Amino acid sequence: MIKIREIPYAKDGQAPAQGGVAGIVAEFNPYHTGHEYLIRKVRETTGCRYVIIVMSGNFTQYGAPAIVDKYTRTRMCLSGDSHADMVFEIPAIYATSSAEGFAHAAVSLLDSLGVVDYLCFGSEVIDTDAMQEVTKMMVDEPVEVREKLRSYLESGKSFPAAYDCAVYDYFDARDGSEKADSIRSMLRNPNATLGLQYCKALAALKSKMKPVAIKRVGAGHNQASAFDETYASGSYLRELIANGGMAEDLEGFFSKPAGEVLTKTLEQYGPVCEDELLPYYKKMLLDVRYRNLIYEAPYNSIEPTLLRHLVNRSAEASACRTFDDYIVSLKSKNLTYTRISRILFRLLTGIGAERPPYPVFYLRLLGFRDEDTKLLRPRIKECATLPIITKVADYERFAEDFQPSDRGACLAMFKTDLYISEFYYQLQNSSDEIGEFTYGVIRV
């Protein structure tokens, strides 16, 4: 069991870190004014000169395609006044993992750069004392929590609901209902929950990075409408874009430079929407059902009872005409929407288990601000503990530096990145123009 050390949370008003580096984990799907606000506040709060992003590639954590490709989103976040300085890609095998796997990989990448001082994240809750308490509980895993969790899972609750109840009971018994209510509120806010996973990863890695929670503004994570004329949720913007919204509909939610980059991609290729995955999922579960593939790879990577549930429900869901309706039809009391979506994607692409048993092996650079990072790049080259990929064609060569026992896993991870990206470009109808071997690192 990992024991947590004291986590020094940075607070507003602390002394600026001259030439310091802040790291942010993101999907930027798409990159909008709320993200610009986060980057601006990170610089104000930490005093850091540089902001480095580790970002999901072409598919998001719950297995849906990003509305525009990773290169467009990279160029967007490197442009404008409130910009990032460098962007690295989270390998697809982790970018589409559970919150724990996603957070651990992302924090590992930032930590391996060797230059990041602060791990920053937007959160609905910035009570850092409470966050530290919950993080400690998550890492120590008290017996009371494990027993309660098992009991709630056996009663038929989904894992998130069971965990919520188990943690509430733990803090209620220890500190009373008022404290437990506060903790429950934190666990029910998605960004705060992800922030806790970042803190847990920091403790597990014994990282020197200090976590900094930035108060979120504007619309909630999945809010279906705009908060005001400046900030909106990513889901609201994706819906606008998917329904044909262009510059005039999106004005105010993107800076001018980012909006121009987004508009160019949408005019050239259009958006990539999750509905495009629906026929693939229907055929996949049909094949499993009639060809008895339950015990074959990659289907044997999940519990047979879970796969049978999806296969059985898929027969009833075959009439669904949208991705959302289809996933909802596969849901059950103890299976969440996001987990089903993630499982189907990982089965379709052959990734398999929700969290692979090996670490991240490399840093994939997507883009950087050329003039602004002249001093930062030599520091990273000197301090980074993982190889940095800037040219895709060299991926087999850099794997030679690993021990033979790790070399195969490293190559498999990178080939999975290539495969999933090429699949995305086919959905985007851009495969003749955009490819992993032809599209180089972006310099702004």
Judge whether residue 132 has pLDDT over 90: no
Report which of residues 100 and 333 the model is more confident about: 100
Q: How confident is the model at residue 5 (pLDDT cuts 50, 70, 90)?
A: very low
Torsion sign over Cα 255, 240, 265, 36? positive
Judge whether residue 4 has pLDDT over 70: no
Per-residue confidence (pLDDT) for residue 339, from 0 to 100:
92
Cβ-count burial 107-136 (b if 16+ within 10 Å, e if not): bbbbbbbbbbbbbbbbbbbbbbebbbbbbb
> Averaged over 18-36, what is the pLDDT?
93
Rg of the chain in Å (alpha carbons):
21
φ, ψ for residue 299 (rounded to 5)?
-70, -25
Per-residue confidence (pLDDT) for residue 91, from 0 to 100:
96
Reading the block at residue 417, the tokens are 């990145």
- 23: closest CA among 212, 194, 205, 267? 212
Judge whether residue 3 has pLDDT over 60: no
Judge whether residue 159 has pLDDT over 50: yes
What whole-number distance in Å separates Cα of residue 345 and Cα of residue 424? 12
Q: What is the pLDDT of residues 196-233, one digit of tens each?
A: 999 999 988 999 999 999 988 755 545 544 444 567 88
Q: List the beta bridge partners of residue 123.
A: 215
**What's the CATH class of domain 1-124+191-272+360-444?**
alpha beta
> Averaged over 274-282, what is the pLDDT?
97
pTM of the model: 0.91
Per-residue confidence (pLDDT) for residue 1, from 0 to 100:
25
Report which of residues 8 and 58 the model is more confident about: 58
Which of 97-101, 247-251, 259-263, 314-318 shows the lowest mean pLDDT across its residues?
A: 247-251
> Residue 55: which H helix or E strand, with range?
strand 50-56
Break the chain into its structural domains and give their ranges. 1-124+191-272+360-444, 129-188, 275-348
Query: Are residues 119 and 23 in contact, defined by beta-carbon separation less than 8 angstroms?
Result: yes
What whole-number distance in Å separates Cα of residue 432 and Cα of residue 400? 31
Which of 121-135, 148-162, 329-343 shows the lowest mean pLDDT across its residues?
A: 121-135
Judge whether residue 314 has pLDDT over 70: yes
Q: Write out the DSSP string of 387-427.
A: -EES-GGGHHHHHTTS-HHHHHHHHHHHHHHHHHHHHHHHH
Judge whether residue 192 has pLDDT over 70: yes
Query: 159-175 and 128-140 are packed helices; what angle lies between their axes, rounded to 10 degrees?
Result: 110
**13-22, 112-121, 225-234, 243-252: which has the highest mean pLDDT?**
112-121
- Burial class (CB within 10 angstroms; exposed 0-12, middle 13-18, buried 19+) of 87: buried
- Name residue, tokens 């004329």: 229
Per-residue confidence (pLDDT) for residue 179, from 0 to 100:
85
- Name residue, tokens 């990145």: 417
Instruction: Kindly give the pairing relationship between strand 86-90 and strand 363-368.
Output: antiparallel
- Name residue, tokens 């017996």: 143
Report which of residues 26 and 139 the model is more confident about: 26
> Residue 442: which H helix or E strand, with range?
strand 442-443
Hey, is 383 helix, strand or coil?
A: helix
φ, ψ for residue 339 (rounded to 5)?
-70, -40
What whole-number distance in Å separates Cα of residue 19 and Cα of residue 200? 27
What whole-number distance in Å separates Cα of residue 119 and Cα of residue 250? 30
Which of 103-107, 186-190, 308-312 shows the lowest mean pLDDT across its residues?
A: 186-190
- Name residue, tokens 């602390």: 14
What whole-number distance in Å separates Cα of residue 278 and Cα of residue 175? 47
Query: Are residues 122 and 216 in contact, defined by beta-carbon separation less than 8 angstroms?
Result: yes
Q: What is the pLDDT of residues 337-361, one digit of tens each?
A: 999 999 999 999 998 877 766 789 9
- SS3 for 146-188 is HHHHHHHHHCCCCHHHHHHHHHHHHHHHHHCHHHHHHHHHHHC
Average pLDDT, the chain: 88
Judge whether residue 125 has pLDDT over 80: no
- Name residue, tokens 């909630």: 220
Reading the block at residue 444, the tokens are 């702004």
> Residue 33: which H helix or E strand, with range?
helix 33-46
What whole-number distance in Å separates Cα of residue 439 and Cα of residue 78? 17
Q: How confident is the model at residue 72 (pLDDT cuts 50, 70, 90)?
A: very high
